[in-house]
């Protein structure tokens, strides 16, 4: 059992932060690694990359968006409640070293994943420029935490309600034009990562992305989290979740997730209407 010791609702209540008591995981977890959580005995196993760890308190922090039946169950858990199961840390940690000038690009809940990576890169001595994006200001998360973890911070909103009016890719282009950048880390929606990758490829700047395929067991046995990288099949849970952006097949990943998200929406609609039933890969109860 993993007890929730802090809970916050972010971005109009659609994004939830849970700080969870997990002493052993907090001692071993590295930036870029993830955990798998299960709300109750019949619930789905959900992989979430840790937004923070606190070894002194023995806690980890996860941030998730409510998008389906299982994350709606997560939302119902309050301080003092416990997740039925929690395993981790899983996946390969981010390789952190002093390479010089780094740009970190985050969108949506990808900002939470990016946070410990950005902080670690800055602590390693890098000059870190961070670019964060959201549809509107009220959907932006972790601005102050990311400001503290960065050398320089840029905010982008699609509607112009805060910072740059436009996409993170536009600011990324400007930064690359005016600076000699050694590394880019982009984490967020697949289209954002894809187009960041296309921009950095033109400039021949090494780029890392964190991929989010369907995942079940988290050990590489089921094969659900397969992604194509450099023409080879990789498993995000054990080989990733981070990969060379210039070698990843984003279109294939988007197609695989599209069918899953259709099932996810059907399941969530059924859950809201009090008529939960089995719907494809998402609802396994």
pLDDT higher than threshold 50 for residue 269: no
pLDDT higher than threshold 50 for residue 272: no
pLDDT higher than threshold 70 for residue 266: no
User: Is position 231 within any domain?
Assistant: yes
Adjacent-strand bridge partners of 151: none
In percent, how much of the chain has pLDDT > 70?
Answer: 90
Instruction: For residues 231 and 188, state if they share a domain.
Output: yes
Task: Name the most confidently modeled range: 150-154, 187-191, 216-220.
Answer: 150-154
Domain boundary among 90, 110, 126: 90
Q: Any idea what the CATH number is for the domain that residue 69 is in? A: 2.40.30.10
Tokens of 17: 């932060």
Task: Name the most confidently modeled range: 85-99, 217-231, 263-277.
Answer: 85-99
* Sheet (strand 82-83) strand order: 52-54, 59-65, 15-21, 2-10, 82-83
Question: How much is the pLDDT for 13?
Answer: 82
Instruction: For residues 212 and 109, state if they share a domain.
Output: yes
pLDDT digits (tens, 9 = 90+) for 116-138: 999 999 999 999 999 999 998 99
Between 188 and 262, whose confidence is greater?
A: 188
Question: How much is the pLDDT for 143?
Answer: 95
Question: How much is the pLDDT for 1?
Answer: 67
3-state secondary structure labels for all residues of the chain: CEEEEEEEEECCCCEEEEEEECHHHHHHCCCCCEEEEECCCCCCEEEEECCEEECCCCEEEEEEECCCHHHHHHHCCCCCCEECEEEEEECCCCCCCCCCEEEEEEECCHHHHHHHHHHHHHHCCCEEEEEEEECCHHHCCCHHHHHHCCCEEEEEECCCCCCEECCHHHHHHHHHHHCCCCEEEEECCHHHHHHHHHHHHHCCCCEEEECCCCCCCCCCCCCCCEEEECCEEEEHHHHCCEEEHHHECHHHHHHHHHHHHHHHHHHHHHHHCCCCCCECCCECC
Instruction: For residues 14 and 150, state if they share a domain.
Output: no
223 pLDDT tier (thresholds 50, 70, 90): confident
User: Is position 275 within any domain?
Assistant: no
Question: How much is the pLDDT for 43?
Answer: 87
Count of domains in the chain? 2
pTM of the model: 0.86
Tokens of 285: 């109860």
281 pLDDT tier (thresholds 50, 70, 90): very low
264 pLDDT tier (thresholds 50, 70, 90): very low
Give the structural domain span for 120: 101-253
Q: Any idea what the CATH number is for the domain that residue 168 is in? A: 3.40.50.80
pLDDT higher than threshold 70 for residue 62: yes
């Amino acid at each position: 059992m993993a007890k929730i010791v802090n809970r916050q609702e972010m971005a109009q209540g659609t994004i939830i932060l849970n700080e969870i008591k997990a002493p052993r995981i907090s001692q071993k977890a590295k930036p870029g690694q993830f955990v798998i959580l299960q709300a109750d005995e019949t619930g789905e196993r959900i992989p979430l990359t840790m937004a923070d760890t606190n070894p002194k308190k023995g806690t980890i922090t996860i941030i998730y968006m409510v998008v389906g039946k299982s994350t709606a169950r997560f939302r119902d858990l309050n301080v003092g409640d416990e997740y039925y199961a929690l395993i981790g840390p899983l996946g390969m940690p981010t390789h952190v070293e002093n390479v010089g000038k780094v740009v970190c690009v985050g969108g949506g809940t990808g900002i939470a994943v990016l946070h410990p990576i950005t902080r670690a890169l800055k602590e390693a001595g890098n000059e870190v420029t961070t670019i964060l994006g959201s549809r509107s200001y009220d959907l932006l998360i972790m601005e102050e935490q990311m400001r503290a973890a960065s050398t320089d911070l840029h905010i982008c909103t699609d509607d112009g309600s805060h910072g740059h009016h436009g996409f993170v890719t536009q600011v990324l282009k400007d930064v690359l034009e005016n600076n000699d950048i050694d590394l880019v880390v982009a984490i967020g929606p697949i289209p954002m990562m894809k187009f960041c990758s296309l921009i950095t490829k033109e400039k021949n700047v090494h780029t890392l992305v964190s991929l989010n395929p369907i995942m079940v067991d988290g050990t590489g046995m089921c094969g659900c989290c397969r992604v194509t990288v450099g023409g080879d099949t990789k498993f995000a849970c054990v080989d990733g979740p981070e990969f060379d952006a210039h070698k990843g097949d984003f279109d294939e990943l988007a197609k695989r997730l599209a069918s899953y998200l259709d099932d996810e929406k059907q399941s969530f609609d059924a859950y809201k209407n009090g008529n939960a039933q089995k719907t494809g890969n998402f609802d396994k109860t």
